[in-house]
């Protein structure tokens, strides 16, 4: 089985930075590529901040945090990923952007046995893999936010993905990263989002209709159903642009009304009210990233 000791991540946003952190904490030589040097510096600060919070919470000692950060290289040049054994694409949830990245990586990553993984939460892995000349070595490896905390990864193989690729990536996720992999067929939304997104969209429609406030909807599910986070607070955490993108992928594939994007969600995305990362979504967030006040309506 292929040994994965050198990992690359394309994209240093919320998800990419989290994936980079867990790889570095697992002792892997990890390179993170962003769009340019400025974005690469921001990605490094994102990972450093997450490691510092882990130290403050007592989940990581100071020396381990320093060692993890030392294993990370941040770059604005895709060519720096040429020697990687596994590269995980974690750019925005947009098919054209992901296809462009994977197509470029196919030409850059030198080892013909290297694996290209996508962190897509809803797009067909087959479509993305066909942008490369190694579709048998392209696989979906979908992490969940926050990556350092949540143990699950979805492992998604297309019709072309080889059993060897699946076995290698499953062992990597389980034995190296300490994650719990589950398998899904290559259908929009995979397992988790195919179940989760209709629930979130239903909550958005409830708020949109004035049936109940965002605060009351979330309290109902947290206190009445023992959910750790209500659906609208969860949507804010995921990012409303990402929720909308997943809903669009699901609707495109299944044409079921429950997957249709509510008008309120579309308007909020257009307005830049994307949730926690923007400071405002269905709730408003302060510097501690907790809900700061009960929203009106």
Residue 82: DSSP 8-state: T
Residue position matching structure tokens 């990263």:
177
Catalytic position from the list 184, 193, 249, 283: 193
What is the distance between the alpha carbons of residues 118 and 138, in angstroms, rounded to a whole number? 8
**Structure token digits, residue 58:** 């007592």
Catalytic position from the list 50, 119, 121, 184: 121
Task: Say whether 193 is catalytic.
Answer: yes
**Structure token digits, residue 78:** 């895709």
Catalytic position from the list 142, 157, 160, 283: 142
Task: Say whether 121 is catalytic.
Answer: yes
**Residue 176 in contact with residue 4, Cβ under 8 Å?**
yes
Q: Chain centroid to CA 57: how far?
A: 23
Task: Say whether 142 is catalytic.
Answer: yes
> What burial letters (b/e) apply to 135-144, b meaning 16+ CB within 10 Å?
bbbbbbbbbb
**Residue 282 in contact with residue 235, Cβ under 8 Å?**
yes
* Catalytic residue positions, numbered: 121, 142, 154, 193
């Amino acid at each position: 089985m292929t040994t994965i000791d050198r990992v690359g991540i394309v994209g240093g946003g919320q998800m990419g930075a989290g994936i980079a952190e867990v790889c570095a904490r697992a002792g892997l030589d990890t390179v993170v590529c962003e769009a340019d040097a400025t974005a690469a510096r921001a990605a490094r600060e994102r990972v450093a901040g997450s490691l510092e919070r882990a130290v403050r919470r007592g989940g990581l000692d100071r020396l381990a945090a320093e060692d993890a950060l030392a294993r990370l290289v941040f770059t604005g040049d895709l060519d720096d990923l040429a020697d990687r054994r596994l590269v995980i694409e974690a750019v925005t949830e947009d098919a054209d952007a992901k296809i462009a990245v994977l197509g470029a990586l196919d030409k850059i990553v030198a080892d013909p046995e290297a694996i290209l993984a996508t962190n897509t939460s809803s797009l067909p892995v087959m479509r993305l893999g066909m942008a490369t000349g190694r579709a048998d070595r392209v696989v979906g490896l979908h992490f969940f936010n926050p990556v350092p905390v949540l143990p699950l990864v979805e492992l998604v193989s297309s019709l072309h993905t080889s059993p060897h690729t699946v076995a290698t990536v499953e062992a990597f996720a389980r034995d190296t990263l300490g994650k719990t992999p589950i398998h899904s067929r290559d259908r929009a939304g995979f397992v988790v989002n195919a179940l989760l997104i209709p629930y979130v969209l239903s909550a958005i429609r409830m708020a949109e209709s004035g049936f109940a406030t965002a605060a009351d909807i979330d309290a109902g599910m947290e206190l009445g159903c023992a959910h750790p986070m209500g659906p609208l607070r969860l949507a804010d955490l995921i990012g409303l642009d990402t929720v909308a993108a997943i809903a669009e992928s699901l609707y495109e594939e299944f044409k079921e009304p429950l997957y249709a994007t509510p008008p309120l969600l579309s308007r909020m995305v257009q307005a830049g009210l994307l949730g926690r990362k923007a400071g405002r979504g269905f709730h408003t967030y302060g510097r501690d990233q907790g809900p700061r006040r009960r929203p009106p309506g």
